[in-house]
Structure 1
Amino acid sequence: MQEIQQILKVIVTSSSKGYLSNYLLKGKSLESNFIGGIIHNEFNSDGEAALKLYGTDQSDVRYKMLKYRVKKKLYNSLLTIEINNNDLAFQKEVECTRLLNIARILLRQAEHQLAIGLCSKVISIAKEYEFNEHLLSAYEIEIAALTNQTSLKVFTEKRKQYLEKLIVVNLEKEANGLHQLAKAHLRGTVKVRKTLVKELPAIINRLKQIVTEANTFETFLSLYVTSILYYELIGNFSEIIKITEDAVNNLNKGKTNAARFDIKYNAYILIYAHLRTKEYAKGLVFANDFYNLFKPTTRNWFAYMENYFLLAVHAKQYELASVLLHRVRSNTSYGIIKNNAKERWQLFTAYLFFIAPSSPVLEGFNYQKFITSVTEYSKDKQGFNVAILILQFMYYLKKGDTEGLLYKIESLKKYILTHLKDTFSLRSKLFLKLLMLTVTEDYDAQSCRVKGAKYYQKLIETPTPGDAYAEIEIVPYEHLWELILETMPK
């Protein structure tokens, strides 16, 4: 069942609107009922499907054969579906793949002229979109076909083109391989990431050499994404701004393939980098300018809104943050985002409740229920564990719950000793010490301000670390400390 659900998801996401209804759901056959039932969530397991369709369980041989037929039909449909126009480059890439497959069949059947004719179409598309690997394959088929033709001159010219393109494609493959190597290491442990940081400068230098040699979109893309990955790891977001702005300039000058370049990803990274460099005003201008690039019905829109919301909060524009949160919470496509993304929005809502509780968007939000139900520490919430601890502490502080605060102090001490031992955790460690000070100084705001001055000053002087290691500051710690001092119960 899961495999069929995944294929259907790919077809629905990739194909032209209505493809399934036009080609797979005709009539009232068991196959169409089976597919329709999955799409409309009438059943989510083999047991439910077998019972609905045959009045039996999933071990029924008739149900097993039905699944086999449907699975085969769906896989075959992936070879023939019309890709939607939202991703024109992908549409053209799929078209090249199909034409090359047909050309190989024709070549096998000795229909050389027909094969060459299809390769000509592939060559035209591949040159426009810089699909050099497809271009190389087309040259390869042409050469095989021309081997059986009489014109040695044409054969020699095509072979020369093939050999030139072979060098380029090999460079592209090397560049792509270097990027994949870096990306794979990024998913490892913190220790693995630290090793990667040391190796990345050499990888980037090699990528720059490859770009100089090949000068293709694929080699540029490998350098572009790997460079962003590296500077994100070391926390140099100013360099990321430069990379994204240079990319747009080159795009406007026609130096980058406009059909292939992902302007939405570039906008997303540019906004995020401004958040991390604390250029909030400039970042908000960009965030507003690029807003219409993203469709509200997509996950990318929700991801973009996270950075937009955080920019507003960090800029202390809480009214704007409330408006953005309302857009997210009222979006009818909210259900499409993953659970961890929903949890982040819940966390953002809770922080906004603390700093701007009178905002209309917070009506109906059960702050107490959220605080008491959220897990204190889990790998699922990696990047937000400190944010959760802080929120829980502020909840008890706002209530004036001395007993609860004494308990939380022990939790904070334990967390610091266990999880905040590295230098990249210094900001979080300093802020948690400031929080503990509120209890030891008996909730006296003036005393906390004086006794906490050294921690606060060091907090200001400590930059945020690279994204590879950092806990997310939903509200800057400096802003939170001022808010806590202002609202501290007497």
Structure 2
Amino acid sequence: MEELRELVKIVTNRAQKKIAFLEWDAEKKLSKDMELFYGIQQGKFTSDEQAAIHLYNSTPDQASYKMAKSRLRKKLLNHLFFLDFNNRSKISHKYEQECLNLLHQARMLINLGEYKTSERLLNKLLKISFEAEFTYITVSSLEVLLGIYAQVGKSYLFYKSKELLLHYRNILKFEQEAEDYYNTARLELSKSIQARKEFLPKLVPILERLHKLWKQSHSFNNFHYYYKLKIFFYDMVGQPTEIIHITSESDQLFENGKINPMRFDHRFNKFMNVHAYLRSKEYEKGLYFAREYLQAFDPSSNNWFAFMENYFLLALHAREYTLALQIIQQTDENPFFSKIGRMAKERWVLYRSYLYFVHPSETLYSDFTYQTLINSVPEYGKDKQGFNVAILILQYLYFLKKNDLESLLHRIEAMRKYAGTHLKDNFSDRAKAFFKLLMIPIKEDFKPMYCRKKGKYLYEKLQVITPPGEAYAEIEIIPYEHIWEMILDIMMATKHQLQKNMG
């Protein structure tokens, strides 16, 4: 009770006169800042101009609107202390946030001269921090605890904690080095294709150093940096079987108690496992694991939609078009689809357009999205990197099927320009070989038998060219070999139709 009385006294005497929180009572008349909150939440306000006109019939630079924005910002920041980390977040976030809250509370109490309660909070914190291997929090907590022990004269506990602090500072030093390598590598791997290509050889010694740091420190953080960067490396260089090995090995380490269960992200491991089966063309295994793992992803998260992309592509590559349609329908029915980013939405438009072409369905067709995609010439910007070839190919297929030769010739010219500018290195061998195949129908006057004969060498070459890694890859929404078979079928169907019309 003494501790409780002290806390009540502190809150009573020291609390802000008016704590700004969001008010959820719908029966009360809304304040302007809460009107702004609901307007943004419900999508009514997408710009300052809209909100200012609605709330004050003014422009965004007016003081009244600025004040409403400021009040709402304070309320939202206050609510950060009361967020729920139990469901959608990584399991580690829940424990990390609990530690940070306890550390914050302990520091506040020390500033108010309350050492006894602060010490109790810090010891509770350290129990979680030790178990979850939050080294940076452990170091900060021990430093604060040493200050308390020095202040109240607890000599034995001071020196015992100091010894612990020196141990964890040493681990933290290893982790900081590893973190620096990891962040630098992630930055370089997010740049242009050419920049990635130049950086990849430098990643080999970095991985060797990370592995050494992990073995020296036995720290989860250093395992994490090594594990993730190794997966990214093999993904970039196009060695998916290595990724399958890493994910399986990580599961084994976890089962053997070698990886911290409070920190290991099973979802990422599952995601990369399924992605690797797609890249290695082991479609049946990939589909099996995709079905098994789907329930691990929260449908309200971006991770769910990213996982569904791999699931969809596996179905499409395996020619399981009915399953691919079911996946599209699941995605469409997810109420959180509107929350995902613009680029992700554009990818789903492209996916459904491809599926519509190979497996027409009324539920797939959207006149606006499909026709817009077909009639537009891709913008070769960084934001569409990896999908420019896919868009050009879809346009080619569409105009070939319509027998619109004039439009088809325009797309062929666009392909020539794109290949000349963007497909210069050997990492584009599959795309270059396929582009050459796409030129054959033009040269052979769309005669399917001649095209099959002339394209045999390139078709066989496609089957032995190893797909490039993510560092260089243009996404094959449908494998190029399958598309060439479709092209031959389209030309044969067109030929039969012409003969029927003439006969």
Deviation at 1:272, TM superposition (A): 0.6
**Unmatched tracts of structure 2, length 5 or more:** 1-20, 496-503
Higher mean displacement: 330-339 or 464-473: 330-339
Partner deviation per Cα, 1:189-228 (whole Å, 9 max, x = no partner): 2232122211111011111111111112111111111101
8 Å CA contact retained: 1:26, 1:32: no
Partner deviation per Cα, 1:290-338 (whole Å, 9 max, x = no partner): 1111232322222111111111111121221122222223333321222
Residues 204 and 441 of structure 1: is their aligned pair in 2 closer, same or farther, counting only changes over 3 Å? same
Corresponding residue of 2:323: 320
Query: How do 1:122-133 residues align onto structure 2 when only pairs under 5 Å count?
Result: 122-133=125-136
Deviation at 1:159, TM superposition (A): 0.5
2:414 equivalent to 1:411: yes
1:147 to 143, 146, 150: 150
Cα RMSD, aligned residues only? 2.2
Taking the aligned partners of 2:275 and 2:180, their CA distance within structure 1 comes to: 26
Query: How do 1:359-398 residues align onto structure 2 when only pairs under 5 Å count?
Result: 359=361, 361-363=363-365, 369-379=371-381, 380-398=383-401
Residues 63 and 376 of structure 1: is their aligned pair in 2 closer, same or farther, counting only changes over 3 Å? closer
Query: Residue 479 of structure 2 aligns to which amino acid in structure 1?
Result: P
Higher mean displacement: 228-237 or 103-112: 103-112
Query: Residue 127 of structure 1 aligns to which amino acid in structure 2?
Result: F
Corresponding residue of 1:477: 480
1:391 aligned counterpart, secondary structure = helix
Taking the aligned partners of 1:75 and 1:330, their CA distance within structure 2 comes to: 32
Query: How do 1:249-398 residues align onto structure 2 when only pairs under 5 Å count?
Result: 249-357=252-360, 359=361, 361-363=363-365, 369-379=371-381, 380-398=383-401
Deviation at 1:125, TM superposition (A): 1.4
Corresponding residue of 1:8: none
2:190 equivalent to 1:187: yes
Residues 305 and 138 of structure 1: is their aligned pair in 2 closer, same or farther, counting only changes over 3 Å? same
Taking the aligned partners of 2:151 and 2:72, their CA distance within structure 1 comes to: 42
Deviation at 1:22, TM superposition (A): 4.4
Taking the aligned partners of 1:70 and 1:353, their CA distance within structure 2 comes to: 45
Q: How many residues align?
A: 470
Partner deviation per Cα, 1:344-397 (whole Å, 9 max, x = no partner): 12211222222223x454355678614433332331321011111111111121
Residues 422 and 38 of structure 1: is their aligned pair in 2 closer, same or farther, counting only changes over 3 Å? same
Residues 205 and 466 of structure 1: is their aligned pair in 2 closer, same or farther, counting only changes over 3 Å? same
Taking the aligned partners of 2:126 and 2:369, their CA distance within structure 1 comes to: 60
Q: Structure 1 vs Structure 2: percent identity of aligned residues?
A: 39
Deviation at 1:26, TM superposition (A): 6.6
Residues 59 and 473 of structure 1: is their aligned pair in 2 closer, same or farther, counting only changes over 3 Å? closer
Deviation at 1:259, TM superposition (A): 2.2
Taking the aligned partners of 1:367 and 1:191, their CA distance within structure 2 comes to: 32
Taking the aligned partners of 1:65 and 1:367, their CA distance within structure 2 comes to: 41
Query: How do 1:23-62 residues align onto structure 2 when only pairs under 5 Å count?
Result: 28-62=30-64
Corresponding residue of 2:12: none
Partner deviation per Cα, 1:114-134 (whole Å, 9 max, x = no partner): 322121011011122221211
2:89 equivalent to 1:83: no
Query: Residue 59 of structure 2 aligns to which amino acid in structure 1?
Result: D
Residues 209 and 290 of structure 1: is their aligned pair in 2 closer, same or farther, counting only changes over 3 Å? same
Query: Residue 31 of structure 1 aligns to which amino acid in structure 2?
Result: D
Query: Residue 271 of structure 2 aligns to which amino acid in structure 1?
Result: Y
Partner deviation per Cα, 1:79-102 (whole Å, 9 max, x = no partner): x21434113431321221122123
Deviation at 1:244, TM superposition (A): 0.9
Residues 296 and 373 of structure 1: is their aligned pair in 2 closer, same or farther, counting only changes over 3 Å? farther
Taking the aligned partners of 2:345 and 2:46, their CA distance within structure 1 comes to: 22
Query: Residue 212 of structure 1 aligns to which amino acid in structure 2?
Result: K
Higher mean displacement: 82-91 or 434-443: 82-91
Taking the aligned partners of 1:362 and 1:33, their CA distance within structure 2 comes to: 37
Corresponding residue of 1:423: 426
Deviation at 1:48, TM superposition (A): 3.2
Deviation at 1:448, TM superposition (A): 1.1
Query: Residue 151 of structure 2 aligns to which amino acid in structure 1?
Result: N
Residues 106 and 211 of structure 1: is their aligned pair in 2 closer, same or farther, counting only changes over 3 Å? same
8 Å CA contact retained: 2:243, 2:276: yes
Deviation at 1:277, TM superposition (A): 0.4
1:452 aligned counterpart, secondary structure = helix
8 Å CA contact retained: 2:22, 2:34: no
Residues 445 and 51 of structure 1: is their aligned pair in 2 closer, same or farther, counting only changes over 3 Å? closer
Higher mean displacement: 403-412 or 220-229: 403-412
Deviation at 1:404, TM superposition (A): 2.4
Deviation at 1:436, TM superposition (A): 0.6
Residues 399 and 29 of structure 1: is their aligned pair in 2 closer, same or farther, counting only changes over 3 Å? closer
Deviation at 1:451, TM superposition (A): 1.2
